[in-house]
Amino acid sequence: MEDLKQLFYDYVTARVGSDGFPCMCLHRDADGHFVYSHLDLPYPKILKLTIELRMKGATEIIFGVDRQTREGQGTLYDDVYTCAYWKVTDSEKDPFVGQWEIGIINYKPPTMMGEMVIGEAVVEEFDWDNEFWFHQMGQEISESDWEIKSLVEVIAEKQAIKTNVREDRPDDIQDFELSEWEAGFEDWCKSNDPPPVDTEKGREFFLELYISGQWLKRELDKICDDEVLINGQCSVAGQRTFLSKPWAAARKVLDNFKNGVIETPGFELAEVIIRENVAAGKIAFNRDKGTVSFRAEENG
């Protein structure tokens, strides 16, 4: 079997220029084919790309990022090409289980006079024993992996919640009501093109969400005659299914309404729901440069 690391080394060192090394990734896909990728991406997105490749079944990945050096990094020149190699080690091909190796290529770019090369580039062999970059890139990869793995776990938890969506259905729903609401759901599906639900599990969840919304509307009709307000509370219940079951969300909205707590659907409610889930230990979020990322707490 061909050596992925050597293939990568031969490819990138043949392309070093006055601007340094190309930002590259080479991986062996699930079918055993080699795929070269030129990356015009910020570094955090490169790390997330490697996770995406692993989740798609890649068995080996190597990528490199050109950097400038400082004293104390154990490098030879002002420039260094930092590389990370990953190989799957788990029989189930878990994308978060594998062996990482961190290496560097010490180099000096060619000396140029205008567009003329007057001094050839100096490129050393792979160094897989650099202590500084082992710890630096290892930390960068670990943090990226943790964020994405935790998001995957949140999604998995959300999907698990959806598997038992009927278990909390109230006993006071009459057969004629259920038939009427199921027919209403079918009409709603047909009125959308393309259909909003294309999987069996998704259909089951959205059917229960629709029924719980109709039940909530029925209950609110008993205590309120403002149709706009009632419809708004049904929308609130829909938003509250984030990391929650439809019936739990519907009951919470009804209880809040009875206690004088009236919420408005929209972005502000989404922020409230996020904070509630953070307080409950279900998720955490960080704001960085105007972005929001979600991850499960370690104990959640």
Tell me the pLDDT of the chain averaged across its residues.
80
The first and second tokens of residue 117, run together, are 């090369």
Q: How confident is the model at residue 282 (pLDDT cuts 50, 70, 90)?
A: low
Structural contact between residues 216 and 254, judged by C-beta atoms closer than 8 angstroms: yes
Q: How confident is the model at residue 82 (pLDDT cuts 50, 70, 90)?
A: very high
pLDDT in the model for residue 248:
87
- Identify the residue whose tokens are 């149709």: 227
pLDDT in the model for residue 163:
57
β-partners of residue 105 are 81, 126
Percent of the chain past pLDDT 70, that is, above it, reads 74
Q: What is the C-alpha separation between 142 and 155, in angstroms, rounded?
A: 20
pLDDT in the model for residue 194:
61
Q: Which residue has the higher pLDDT, 47 or 90?
A: 47
Q: How do the residues of the chain divide into helix, strand and coil, expressed in percent and rounded to 5? A: 45, 20, 35
pLDDT in the model for residue 117:
78
Residue 71 has pLDDT above 70, yes or no: yes
The first and second tokens of residue 272, run together, are 């409230």
Q: How confident is the model at residue 288 (pLDDT cuts 50, 70, 90)?
A: very low
Residue 93 has pLDDT above 80, yes or no: no
The first and second tokens of residue 57, run together, are 């079944």
CA distances from 94 to 87, 133, 280, 281 (A): 11, 25, 29, 26
Averaged pLDDT for residues 23-49: 90
Averaged pLDDT for residues 8-15: 94
pLDDT in the model for residue 195:
61
CA distances from 104 to 100, 127, 140, 153, 175 (A): 13, 5, 15, 33, 69
pLDDT in the model for residue 52:
83
Q: What is the C-alpha separation between 100 and 141, in angstroms, rounded?
A: 9
pLDDT in the model for residue 278:
58
The 10 Å Cβ neighbour count of residue 159 is 12
Instruction: Dihedral sign for Cα 218, 220, 224, 230, please.
Output: negative
Domain boundaries, given as residue ranges, for the chain: 4-149, 163-265
Q: What is the C-alpha separation between 270 and 264, in angstroms, rounded?
A: 10
Structural contact between residues 281 and 264, judged by C-beta atoms closer than 8 angstroms: no
Tens of pLDDT, residues 192-246: 766 666 566 677 888 888 999 999 999 999 998 888 888 889 988 887 776 567 8
Side-chain-facing half-sphere of 296: CA atoms under 13 Å: 16
Closest listed residue to residue 294, CA positions, set 137, 157, 142:
157
Tens of pLDDT, residues 122-169: 999 999 999 999 989 988 888 776 666 655 555 555 555 555 677 788
Q: Which of 23-37, 145-159, 252-266 has the highest mean pLDDT?
A: 23-37
pLDDT in the model for residue 7:
95
pLDDT in the model for residue 179:
94
The first and second tokens of residue 145, run together, are 């992996």
Three-state secondary-structure class, residue 13: helix
Is the omega angle on the peptide bond into residue 44 within 30 degrees of 0, that is, cis? no
Q: How confident is the model at residue 290 (pLDDT cuts 50, 70, 90)?
A: very low
Q: Which residue has the higher pLDDT, 295 or 283?
A: 283
Q: Which residue has the higher pLDDT, 73 or 281?
A: 73
Residue 83 has pLDDT above 50, yes or no: yes
